[in-house]
Amino acid sequence: MAEKTYEDRYGNKVKAEELLKNKDPNERKAIQYFYSLPVKSGCFGKKFLTDAEYLAIVDEQVGSPESRKARALDRLGLDEDQVREIPPVCFQGFADLEDDVKGIVRDLVRLTKNGRRVTPTKELTWLFFGNDQVYVYTVRVDTCDASLKSERTLEYFYKDVTAFASKSDSVRKKVPEVKDGCGGGSVEYVDRHVEEESFRIVVPGEIFECALSPEDDNESKITAMKQKLREKKNTQ
């Protein structure tokens, strides 16, 4: 029987060991998670990475929101006293690949056992609100490829912002499901509706977008931002 092949993130048909070649331990585990490859195989069956184990890898690579807040203020050259119009807002979520690598590197997606959408790309965003401007810091990590990590900062004048808004899409994707069984596990690829959520800052000719987690209380944060934007527009 021919050895099974997989389509890697560059569209090549490769064997499992080639997917994992030249990867560090956490990258290997993430790839095994998304391709439903066992992290251990033995006489008593196969061991797959659990959802909790994968999410722990994500948290380790992204860092805590507070540590990222300090990094954000440093990168933006801000002091907290300068950005007290409303409390700073932190959004987190699993994202798709950025436009500059789409078409070259392929997205991967999986649903956890409780139906949560996860991808290799985790995004954490801090937003700060000064007297005249909104300041944005975003970090993105890719658990399968450390070279795709990125950080960026942006600034927007309230007078230029058209809207703060959330966006929710339901898309149908084929995702792997690991089935537990006697002597090991098996994998089935099934069609599922996947919920994708994001936050947007809309300015003329540009839309900034970042990922949201549906488990967080995002609406109350966005409502406060919209109220502040209305106040600023009314005083201009």
Confidence of residue 188 (pLDDT cuts 50, 70, 90): low
Question: Which H or E run includes 164?
Answer: strand 163-181
Specify if 48 maps to a domain.
no
pLDDT tens, residue by residue, 100-111: 777 778 888 888
Q: Which domain holds residue 73?
A: 65-235
- The pLDDT tens digits for 72-131 are 999 999 999 999 999 999 999 999 887 777 777 888 888 888 888 899 999 999 999 999
What pLDDT sits at residue 98? 77
Residue 55 burial class via C-beta count within 10 angstroms: exposed 0-12, middle 13-18, buried 19 and up: middle
Report the 10 Å Cβ neighbour count for 182. Answer: 5
Tell me the average pLDDT across 61-76: 96
The answer to the question of residue 135 being in a domain is yes
16's CB contacts (< 8 A; 6+ apart) are 4, 6, 35, 37
**Residue 104 falls within a domain, yes or no?**
yes
Among 8-17, 27-36, 54-63, 150-159, which stretch is predicted with the lowest mean pLDDT? Answer: 8-17
Q: What is the end-to-end Cα distance of the chain in Å, rounded?
A: 72
Is 141 among the domain residues? yes
Amino acid at 123: E
Is residue 116 a part of any domain in this protein?
Answer: yes
The string of pLDDT tens digits covering residues 138-175 is: 999 999 999 999 999 999 999 999 999 998 776 676 66
45 within a domain of the structure (yes/no): no
Local confidence band at 196 (pLDDT 50, 70, 90 cut-offs):
confident
159 DSSP 8-state letter: G
Q: What is the pLDDT of residue 88?
A: 97
* Domain assignment of residue 12, yes or no: no
What are the angstrom distances between the C-alpha of 126 and each of 70, 123, 142, 199, 223?
Answer: 10, 10, 18, 12, 16
Q: How many domains does the chain have?
A: 1
Query: Which residues on adjacent β-strands are paired with residue 140?
Result: 123, 150
Whether 80 is in a domain gets the answer yes
Q: What percent of the chain has pLDDT over 70?
A: 86
